[in-house]
Chain A
């Protein structure tokens, strides 16, 4: 079946522009995560949704970052007034279960954001 998909795969933004990154999780998956992966580093947690509820946004680096999942399926990560330090790969992952359960997180291919 279809895996997690993300779009666009690549995004170049001028400093100060706003960007929106989309994640389509596996159909029926309850949990959705956003991670940021800087070059040569491991993914770092940004935010977590269980269905449409954003239960954890402790990893969002500033108030320029905003995420939503209004209908409990597709999610959008928005970055306002992009800065060079925002350049990274943004990974989305989904899981069929909610909190208090251990299950594989299935990752999307990521969106590589370059801020010039």
Chain B
């Protein structure tokens, strides 16, 4: 089955700096890669997703890149703000056989003033 690895496990940046979180996946058939943000005690919320026919997607301060050959995808947050502090999870799915998400282990992002 699919295996998703995520790095780093914790990340501390100063307000205004950029943050990058990286994930790798094992199943070359995976074709959908969402990123979820989870604040303490809250539900995971989708912040951006990318499909395998696209190499990059941007939404305001957030961007995701996908390298299918290397089976890597990354989340980039620019101009970080304190409210970006949360745990971020990457995930992968092969919608050809199932829609279940396989999640990474999470990155705790702390944005300091």
> Which A residues have a C-beta under 8 Å from some C-beta of B?
4, 31, 33, 35, 40-45, 48, 55-56, 59, 91, 95, 98-102, 104-110
Contacts and interface: CB of A to CB of B under 8 A. Distances in A.
Interface residues of B, number: 26
A60 to B, nearest CB: 12
B71 to A, nearest CB: 18
B43 A40 contact: no
A42 B36 CA distance: 10
Nearest to A9: B41
Contacts, number: 66
Contact of B49 (A40, A99, A104): A104
Contact of B95 (A4, A40, A55, A101): A101
A48 B103 contact: no
A32 to B, nearest CB: 11
